[in-house]
Copies of this chain bind each other. A is one copy, B any other.
Amino acid sequence: MQENVTPHSFNVTKKERNVMNNHRSFLIWFTGLSGSGKSTIANAVETALFEKGIHTYTLDGDNVRKGLNNNLTFSPEDRTENIRRIAEVARLMADAGLVVLAAFVSPYRKDRGNIRQIVGKENFVEVFINTPLEECERRDVKGLYAKARAGEIENFTGISAPYEKPIAANIEIDTTKVTVSEAVAIIIKHIDSTLVL
């Protein structure tokens, strides 16, 4: 093999993957309070994209906190590391040709700025699910707000830890004002041209 060990330009490029898939690849990041509807909307957007033949993947607490980030807590330092790792995975997946949807509270502005830097601003669409705290707490789908109010959960965003709102999100959605279907339509319309090669 010796003569073949010298480096060849063997690597498949992102551009070649995008041509094969017939669409560009990038990251759509959903930020907002627990219970704001981030995952519901991300999953609905993914389904709509998938039905259009787009190659997608959704990262959320379910598949990340139980696996890659199962050694992290909810302390500020670990939240930062949590978001950093997710951004790095999203960068690799976008490089692999996937439209990546990521739904995480991601409460710190600095961390979200870090994501943008890691994936590159041309590959980053920030969606702020701006459902009011009162509504998220009223829904309390997982019963987490009740526990946070009772002091059973520490560092709970909106209750005992801060949420820093995005200053210039690409898209902002208040789920008390639009349905899931309407939210999907708004997001798809926004990224439609970004998908084109």
Contacts and interface: CB of A to CB of B under 8 A. Distances in A.
Interface of A: 1-2, 4-5, 7-8, 10-12, 16-17, 20-21, 37, 40, 43-44, 46-47, 50, 53, 55-59, 63-64, 67-68, 71, 81, 85, 88-89, 91-93, 95-98, 118, 139, 141, 175-176, 178-181, 183
A139 B63 contact: no
A79 to B, nearest CB: 15
A57 B92 contact: yes
A93 B11 CA distance: 18
A2 B139 contact: yes
A149 B37 CA distance: 57
B4 A179 contact: yes
Contacts of A5: 37, 40, 139, 141, 175
